[in-house]
Amino acid sequence: MSFMSPAEFYRRFRDDPSAGQRAASQIGQEMGRKIKSKYDIQGEDSGAVAEILNAAMRTVMGEETARAEGDMVTLRNTGFCAIMRAAMTLNLPWEWIDTNFAWPWIEGIVSIIRPGIKLRIPSARCRGDKACLHVFELK
C-alpha cells in the first residue's frame, strides 16, 4: 500500500476507521522497513526506536525530537506537523486524521524495531494541548 494524502485517506476510510488504522499501520511498516535499511538501524532497544522515529520525522519535515529514556521513548512535537497543516488547510477532522492515520502510521514504523509496541498519547494538539507527546514503553 502506498502513502496517500490525509484527504485521500479520509475519503477512503471515513466510514471504516478500523480499516483505516490497519492500512495506516501497514503504510508505516513499509516505510519503517525502508528507513531501517537505509539508515542501517540495528537492535530493538529504546535507542533504535528513537533513531527510526527521528529518521521518519525527517522524511515528513517534522522535528527530530524522539528521545530514549530507559525503557521509554518520547516524541514531542510543538512545531510543524504535516497532518495538522493538511487538516486545517483542507478542513478535515484533525483528531480523526491523527487517531486513524497518523498515530497508527507511527506505531507501524516503530513496530519494525519492536513488534507489538503500543503508543500512548498523553497530549495532542488536535485536542487543544500545546504539544503532541507520543510515548512508547518498551516492556
pLDDT in tens, the chain (139 residues): 566 788 899 999 999 999 999 999 999 999 999 999 999 999 999 999 999 999 999 888 767 889 999 999 999 988 888 888 888 888 899 999 999 999 999 999 999 999 988 899 999 999 999 999 999 998 7
Give Cα 21 distance to the centre of its chain. Answer: 11
DSSP state of 130: S
Task: Tell me the C-alpha distance between 78 and 62, whole Å.
Answer: 10
Count of domains forming the chain? 1
Domain for residue 70, yes or no? Answer: yes
CATH number at residue 107: 3.30.1380
Domain for residue 1, yes or no? Answer: no
Domain for residue 53, yes or no? Answer: yes
Q: Which three cell numbers stand for residue 134?
A: 507520543
DSSP state of 101: I
Taking the model in full, what pTM does it have? 0.91
Task: Tell me the C-alpha distance between 131 and 124, whole Å.
Answer: 6
Task: Tell me the C-alpha distance between 90 and 83, whole Å.
Answer: 10
Print the domain residue range for 30.
Answer: 6-137
Domain for residue 78, yes or no? Answer: yes
Task: Tell me the C-alpha distance between 51 and 36, whole Å.
Answer: 9
Task: Tell me the C-alpha distance between 122 and 108, whole Å.
Answer: 19
Domain for residue 83, yes or no? Answer: yes
Domain for residue 104, yes or no? Answer: yes
